[in-house]
Amino acid sequence: MRSGRWQLTHQGIAFDSDGYLIDGHHTLWAVLLSGVTVDLMVTSNLRPETIRVIDTGKTRSLQDRLTLSGLWGTVSRAEAACLKRMVRGHARTMKRSSSDEYLDWKSNARHVRFAVSVTEGLGRGVRLAAVRAVVARAHRAIDAEVLHKFCWQMKNGPLIETLKGMSDRDTYDTAERALWAFVYDRPMASGEAF
């Protein structure tokens, strides 16, 4: 854009009937970063559900789809990864439709956001999505204060070193066993130190 090579095309930016920007995020970001003014086509008053078919040639990430829906504000990369891992469980992969993902987020956003917030700063080398998924699932049934204490213990105790370098599945299993051991105040079944 700065070099003046930007060209006006039929692809511009688009707003839905509620005023949400549903297409052109990357273009507008580029305009902002370039510091120049460019001409753009602007489309408005599209039905909100048209976001599901815009730019389907390059798959949008779960984070993009949830954020761009305009329903829940900005969904972070950490939150999207946690949700995917939480929903997937132990399955290696799981193909979900966008409408299923929206329902997953709607019913779990509170738990996912809690898990991401209390696991902040766990450190490098730990598969955070797996740990956060365990905490998010537990948040449905366990008091938040107990989970705060567990996460503090995890950050400051030997478990964090145990989790480093583990596979995603092993991280999930170990974090889950550690959580239940913590909640029920007993040693971990497989003998790891907590």
Q: pLDDT digit string (tens) for 37-75?
A: 999 999 999 998 888 788 766 677 788 878 877 777 888
Category of 116 on φ-ψ map: left (φ > 0), alpha (ψ -120 to 50) or beta: alpha
Please give the C-alpha separations between residue 115 and each of 12, 63, 118, 131, in angstroms, as whole numbers: 37, 16, 5, 9
- Alpha helices (H) in 45-76, listed in sequence order: 62-68
Strand partners, 156: none
Q: How confident is the model at residue 150 (pLDDT cuts 50, 70, 90)?
A: very high
pTM above 0.85, yes or no: no
Picking from 45, 126, 15, the residue whose alpha carbon sits closest to that of residue 78 is: 126
Judge whether residue 192 has pLDDT over 60.
no
